[in-house]
Structure 1
Amino acid sequence: MLTIPTSYYSAFETIQNIEEYFEGKVNVDRHVELVELSKQIVILTVHNAKCFSMQWQAFSSVDVNHPPELSILLHKLGQFIFSSRDCKNVLVSGYTLGVRGICESFINTAMEELKTKKAWKLLYQSVGPIAFCKLLLDHIILVGLPSGSFYQLSGYPINELNILTTPSRKRDAPEPSKTIDSKEYIKRPRLSRRQKKRMRTIPESEESAVYKKKSIEVNIDRSIGYTSFSHQRSIEPPPMLLPKNHILHESRMKRKDYIKQCLEMNKDIKSMSLSYGQVAFFLKEQLKKSIPLEFWGSQHNFDVIFRAIKHFVGRNKNEKISMHEILHQFKIKDCQWLSPASGKASCLVPSDLGKRKTVLMQALRWVFHDFISIFIRYFFYVTEFSNEASKLFYFRKDVWYRITQPFITTVIHSNNYHLINPSDIQSLKLGTQSSSMESRPSANRMLEPILQTLNFEREQHPESVGSAVQYHQLFDKLKNYKQKLRRLNSSKSLYFVKVDIASCFDTIDQDVLLQSLKDTLKSDKYIYRYIHICNLSSGGITTKGSKIIGTPDRMESLSEHTTKLKNLNRGAIIIDQNRSYSKQMNEILELLEENIKRNVVQIGNNFYQRKRGIPQGSCLSTALCDFFFGAFENNNLSFLKEDSNGLLLRYVDDFLYISPYRYYAQRFLETMITELPSYGVEVNQDKCFSNLDQDIKEFPWLGYLFNTKNLDVHINVTSYAFLDIQSGTTVEYNKQPGKALFFSQMRSIKHKLQDILVNPSFNSRPAIIRNLHDNFYIAARKLEIHVSKILKSPGGRYNAKFMLG
């Protein structure tokens, strides 16, 4: 039997199966097909649904005594749906109305099932044409899928319905009193809309804002500072220059020595960044010069704003500051420009005070969004580093120019790029945005179908990507390998070899990559089919789109596609749009070649075309890397197939080989070092690691520790240093910090409860206990940092009852 989500019962008027709908008039048990059909479908009735079956009877004039065949009936039903204004039905999606009736433009999944499935013909013969058409027109039929979701077979498209999944909590208006209220005659008389409009002195949107207690979020503009050539925008006047033949030019440092000095200076780039206090103090001084103290009302209020600026500057990338924090301890009555004309600020009524507070909030929002952010953008380069995920670093623009200029010069004069004419960019489909008014979609949006095509071929031909794995595939690979090792009953330690590629994306041979892609794309044509996925949440229906990809001779069904969808909720409703488009293989290869060989990079005012490597910001980067190294493995690492007890894993460009035999582990490492340069890439030997020459109990890879004897997997706690946790912890400063803290801790703990760490069929009991301990230890460190950040925020306080339970 199907499991119906509880949200359905409040969203629809009735939920029935076949027997309940026909009230026992259909004997389902007589046919096995009807028994299976009754277990698969659900019949829904929408609140206040329109009855189209009555119009259908007047339109069709079907002879009940001599009913037509089901296919003819469905054809007439489609003509009726097209002729009706209000009637919409998923049965006719993909059809068009022609001179001879409806014509099928795309294959309709629902209509094909009704025509071909024997159970529907038996049901049609049992109930007759009128009851059968009433079922299809006035109700919604859902068919259950193995994943616990449904797809809509007939009825009004659910994604276009206005459905509330929870009943309204608004109180009904009280009935008019039958007795006369003594206060009724002294109440203010009701005004008409025109009278209200004449009396209104402020816009309704601003007036209503007084009574809405909404926290205005002020976010740092994350697009600030991502311009390296800051010297071209310097606000200082250009310095006086010496004549070309002046003697002081002879004592100037040579370019080679200058670059060497810059490289030595850049060994610790972080030390050249400014502290948050220095940045905040600079903004404070600019604020003093630009805005008089009378605007703030008092020195106390200015100090409150400066405190908010320090928090604004010092927070992590994804952290916000609310207006509630900015105005904490701010004295509104000190601002004379907010006081009434009479000067009696102490006599303000709450509504008047609320309006003045709203005006102040709008002014402060301008200060943070359009004043402070502009100063940060023009005076500092704000960036982050990979080892400190969300922490922001502020560099003076002239210092950042000195840091980056040697590297940019090296890149420009290398053989990886060559200068191109800006006019050549307009001919590229994936080029940069032109200066004309014509808008062009982003490159990643245009490449999205290409990525889906490559993923489709990857599923059809897994050997094309070699040993490439994703995080969710890692557990299955290791579990099967560990079961194989248990059958060997060997007590010897395993040999681990980890190989890292130096500058992988920048050095990939483009011709080798394109040839491997040409060998991978097997079909001349690829079809992309649209579907909608609807979820019934507490606020109504949320809809997102998806695509099913296939070829003319291989197209997945809805049930096959749903098993591969990630984050598909149980009870989700899938609607086949019956719309599709296709791409020829030549068109796909043309876009791939343009993305790989004609990729354009803008440095300053010049444009350079890449001659080696692939772009890192593209959505195709990881997939292209998988196919490139897949070709290398198939051509150069075929000897590993002789080691039936070995396992090769690769996550993007990080290789890991595990084997009980030293010979194969040693040969793998030597092959990677000697044969990879023929593909344009080289091994970073400083980051390569193995236990061939030393005894290692736990081998690190991808944030895990692998036991070299029994292959138990642990959390690598050493990688979670205090600074890494502090920079990676994002705090939500909102009205309910305790609730945000609780959900943040739950997400942190659940993220580490992976099968590879806590599954008893894979890890031993001591390993699971250790992983749980390390998981809660990391969560405790995050809790400490989270609470300390909240306490340091304006208005932060410690609730002992909440923290201690």
Structure 2
Amino acid sequence: MYIFPRQFGFHNVFTSIVDRKTTAQKFQDYTNRDEEIARHMRSDRRFLAQGVPKIPNRLRGRAQDLVRRLQIRHHRCSYIELVRHYCPSPLDALRKNAQEKTAPISASRIVPGQVTDGISSKNLPAAVQRAPQTQTRTQGSCVFEIDPSVPVVDLAAPLGHVSAFLQAGLSKVIPDAFFGEDDDLRHNKALLAKKVHHFIALRRYETMSLHELSQGFKISNLAWLQLPDRNGQRPSRNETLKQLELFHELLYYVFDSLLIPLARNTFYVTESSSHRNQIFYFRHDVWKMISERAMSAIKDGMLEELKVGDVQHAMGPRRLGFSQIRLLPKGAALRPIMNLRRRYPTQQNQKILGPSINAMLAPIHNVLKLEKHLKPSNLGATLSSVADIYTRLKEFRSHLPSPLPRLYFVKADVQSAFDTIPQQAVLKLMMAIPSHASYKIFKHAEVKPGKRSSTGCSLTVHDDASAATKPPPKPVRRWTATAYPSDESRPFLQRLEDSSETSIGVAGAGAVNQRKNTVFVNSAVQGRHDTRDLLHLLAEHVTENHIKVGKKVFRQRQGIPQGSVLSSFLCNYFYADLEAKHLGFLRDEDTDSSRSLLLRLIDDFLLITTDKKKAQRFAEVLHRGVPEYGVQVSPKKSLANFAVSVPSGDGQSVEMATVSSGADFPYCGVLISCRTLEMKKDCQRAEQTANRLTTDAFMIQSHLMFYDTSHNSLATVLETLRAAFRQTALKMWAYMRSLHRTSRLRPGLVKSM
């Protein structure tokens, strides 16, 4: 029933519709079917009469015996020994020594190539060491420490080892007869191993379809798929389709209910901040050792544990649910990320999922988008996106004399900005942001054509025929919510038409003239929200952010939730207030001989000024710290284009890092010329091309700010264009290499594109 649910009429991935009220995933979770099976048994006459469920004719005999053997092999398989064999860790050798010895543990380190107790640590990181001699073994346990200079991802299991373990696990559990005999068996098992490796090697956001998975398998001679009375006859078309249907169910079960749970229960699977979309597999015991210290520091500094009674008392009037925290490797440290998009079952019905925290906060987010356009001055030097750098720079240069004077650049990054913002201070500031007593939230849908898989280039020989038979792309529908003052009474069409002329309309829908080939569909859904209720919800979100870590519940006592849909707005408004009160000298005496431009993308500050004293004072103010705003800046992450000393944490002065003479200044992925303010893409950040694959790569690099000849010189524009073509070619090469050789395009076709 678990392997072949379609044959029993159960909910399945092939023909059933997913209930979005019960799951937020693309497909239903089939881990537990007990309730569904119980309902089926109550209507099964044979089960009620004889106590034996009715088995479809197709699954009797060989198929039924193979499923029994699969269950037996699963119970006999020692997965822990398999993982220790195929994915060895320094912990295995050190733990084995700790269990055998009773003497105090001496400090020792596993080094690459060293052999310990028959387990070779070749290709293993020199990152795990035992605790100092002062710590002794108690009750057969051992305390290990991690070398703080080693990147966390070096402790992940190599991809080849993970693939070998999963292939071995499936081989131990799945009977060979499922895949045939003799040559068919060898072919199908080798192909399955390749499919498993390909699946494990996928990057984040990449998918593998069942059609792709099933290609190449030989199923015509599989005994368990044959009818008993076939007698060597060639199967009909319907018979072949039925065999394919059964084999697809088996493959889906192998990957969905065997492979993925095995990987999930053995490894902690995560991406990394510095490796973009590459996936890393950490053994659970290794990840526990890595994360315990980080979680302990987070609990001590940012969280406080709530008692069971306090949680039950707080959950009564609360409208927001729990957050979840996960740790993301970032260099030699772990970065905490909170998940506020997860939906939890409602208290009234545990089978129905309620809205997520971010969904509950959507009205506040819409109101803040409106206030951003009504009063942009409240946000100070905030940049909405990297594209705003171009607008600000171009306007700043237009006010400078020609030739341009000497420009001084200073860049500073606030440490752990979201985690250090004082909660009461930011709430007090946000109380004054709304300018209306109440707001209306209107919703409408925007429908536009989907992107075609290719533009003017067919992958088949018969271009006209393929173009005629190829189905059109599926339309893309997006729901948009827009906030307006409560006295808004204009009809929907007028609001859209005025959106390109008024700042209110831009807050949600954007200018109509920027939505080409789009159909706007009005909705009757609208809500009225009182400002006091919204501010009360915001206060609950900031001061009562409950985080579930295992079975315990913590409250965030410092900072604002980083995964919140409101975190960027809160940070921008708060640091804009800091600019007004502590960096006001940048606007004083702003004349032709002394002009300054302050830019800030969330917590990344950049000052460009013609006054060296202002640049020095700006660097000193930020590096001295602003305790009432929780601002601390590390000199190691700061940068300038001139020599400047700043105070450090120990009360002494240190020299800030500087760019080399004549070099461009990097800021948020853009290189800015220190002499002419010209802009180009920072290609030095585009490392590990294979982990950054995207079909829109060239479009991302083709922003107007890089090709505006009124701001950039022709030589700079051509250099940017050459770099964009080079980066796109590298991505194309990496993308082609990642495809299976049967799916790769012909060289002649690639050259003709």
Q: Would you call these one fold, judging by a TM-score over 0.5?
A: yes
CA contact (8 A) 2:305 2:552 kept: no
Secondary structure of residue in 2 paired with 1:412: helix
- The change in CA–CA distance for 1:375 and 1:576 in structure 2 (over 3 A counts) is closer
Secondary structure of residue in 1 paired with 2:554: strand
Q: For this pair of structures, how many residues does the alignment match? A: 557
Tell me what 2:700 maps to: 751
Deviation at 1:342, TM superposition (A): 4.6
Do residues 505 (structure 1) and 443 (structure 2) align?
A: no
Tell me what 1:36 maps to: none
Report the AA paired with residue 498 of structure 2: E
CA contact (8 A) 1:662 1:692 kept: no
Tell me what 1:92 maps to: none
Do residues 802 (structure 1) and 745 (structure 2) align?
A: no
| Aligned residue among 460, 470, 480 for 1:546 | 480
Secondary structure of residue in 2 paired with 1:683: coil
1:577-614 Cα offsets, whole Å, 9 max, x none, are 56643222211111111111111111221111111101
Deviation at 1:220, TM superposition (A): 11
| Aligned residue among 214, 228, 232 for 1:341 | 228
Deviation at 1:344, TM superposition (A): 5.1
Structure with the higher fraction of residues in helix conformation: 1
Report the AA paired with residue 429 of structure 2: S
Report the AA paired with residue 700 of structure 1: P
Give the Cα separation in 2 of the matches to 1:322 and 1:579: 36
Tell me what 1:717 maps to: 683
Tell me what 1:698 maps to: 664
Give the Cα separation in 1 of the matches to 2:745 and 2:524: 56
1:51-80 Cα offsets, whole Å, 9 max, x none, are xxxxxxxxxxxxxxxxxxxxxxxxxxxxxx
Tell me what 2:732 maps to: 783
Q: Please show how residues 119-518 of structure 1 align to structure 2 within 5 Å.
A: 262-264=145-147, 267-297=150-180, 298-342=185-229, 347-414=234-301, 416-421=303-308, 422-427=311-316, 428-432=318-322, 433=344, 436-438=347-349, 439-471=353-385, 472-485=387-400, 488-518=401-431
Give the Cα separation in 2 of the matches to 1:283 and 1:321: 17
Normalised to the residue count of structure 1, the TM-score between the two structures is 0.64
Secondary structure of residue in 2 paired with 1:796: coil
Secondary structure of residue in 2 paired with 1:316: coil
- The change in CA–CA distance for 1:330 and 1:571 in structure 2 (over 3 A counts) is closer
Q: Show structure 1 runs of 5+ residues with no match.
A: 1-200, 210-218, 225-233, 242-246, 731-743
Identity %: 24
Report the AA paired with residue 289 of structure 1: K
- The change in CA–CA distance for 1:494 and 1:255 in structure 2 (over 3 A counts) is farther
Report the AA paired with residue 490 of structure 1: P
Deviation at 1:801, TM superposition (A): 2.7
Secondary structure of residue in 2 paired with 1:267: coil
Tell me what 1:175 maps to: none
Deviation at 1:332, TM superposition (A): 1.5
Do residues 638 (structure 1) and 584 (structure 2) align?
A: yes
Give the Cα separation in 1 of the matches to 2:614 and 2:522: 50
Deviation at 1:341, TM superposition (A): 2.7
Normalised to the residue count of structure 2, the TM-score between the two structures is 0.68
User: Could you say which structure has the greater relative contact order, defined with CA pairs below 8 angstroms and 6 or more residues apart?
Assistant: 1
| Aligned residue among 692, 701, 711 for 1:728 | 692
CA contact (8 A) 1:453 1:549 kept: yes
CA contact (8 A) 1:636 1:675 kept: no
Deviation at 1:562, TM superposition (A): 5.3
Report the AA paired with residue 277 of structure 1: G
Give the Cα separation in 1 of the matches to 2:736 and 2:667: 31
Deviation at 1:312, TM superposition (A): 0.7
CA contact (8 A) 1:304 1:327 kept: no
- The change in CA–CA distance for 1:509 and 1:603 in structure 2 (over 3 A counts) is same
Report the AA paired with residue 175 of structure 2: P
Deviation at 1:371, TM superposition (A): 1.0
Give the Cα separation in 1 of the matches to 2:239 and 2:582: 78
Report the AA paired with residue 498 of structure 1: K
Report the AA paired with residue 779 of structure 1: T
Give the Cα separation in 2 of the matches to 1:340 and 1:260: 59
Deviation at 1:540, TM superposition (A): 9.4
1:484-520 Cα offsets, whole Å, 9 max, x none, are 22xx113433111111011111111112211111121
Q: State the superposition RMSD in angstroms.
A: 3.5
Give the Cα separation in 1 of the matches to 2:372 and 2:525: 24
Do residues 767 (structure 1) and 716 (structure 2) align?
A: yes
Report the AA paired with residue 482 of structure 2: I
Give the Cα separation in 2 of the matches to 1:653 and 1:531: 33
Deviation at 1:554, TM superposition (A): 6.9
Secondary structure of residue in 1 paired with 2:220: helix
Tell me what 2:568 maps to: 622
Q: Please show how residues 605-620 of structure 1 align to structure 2 within 5 Å.
A: 605-620=551-566
Secondary structure of residue in 2 paired with 1:332: coil
CA contact (8 A) 1:705 1:716 kept: yes
- The change in CA–CA distance for 1:532 and 1:777 in structure 2 (over 3 A counts) is closer
Report the AA paired with residue 380 of structure 2: G
Do residues 599 (structure 1) and 561 (structure 2) align?
A: no
CA contact (8 A) 1:418 1:611 kept: no
Deviation at 1:250, TM superposition (A): 7.3
CA contact (8 A) 2:302 2:556 kept: no
Report the AA paired with residue 272 of structure 1: L
CA contact (8 A) 1:494 1:709 kept: yes
CA contact (8 A) 2:104 2:135 kept: no
Deviation at 1:339, TM superposition (A): 3.0
Deviation at 1:659, TM superposition (A): 0.8
CA contact (8 A) 2:547 2:554 kept: yes
1:316-369 Cα offsets, whole Å, 9 max, x none, are 112222334433432213422123435655723344323312221221111111
Report the AA paired with residue 560 of structure 1: D
Give the Cα separation in 2 of the matches to 1:648 and 1:720: 26
Do residues 524 (structure 1) and 474 (structure 2) align?
A: no
Give the Cα separation in 1 of the matches to 2:718 and 2:233: 63
Secondary structure of residue in 2 paired with 1:520: coil
Secondary structure of residue in 1 paired with 2:702: coil
Deviation at 1:628, TM superposition (A): 0.9
CA contact (8 A) 1:509 1:681 kept: no
Give the Cα separation in 2 of the matches to 1:794 and 1:519: 61
Give the Cα separation in 2 of the matches to 1:666 and 1:797: 56
Report the AA paired with residue 197 of structure 2: K
CA contact (8 A) 2:302 2:419 kept: no
Give the Cα separation in 2 of the matches to 1:408 and 1:351: 57
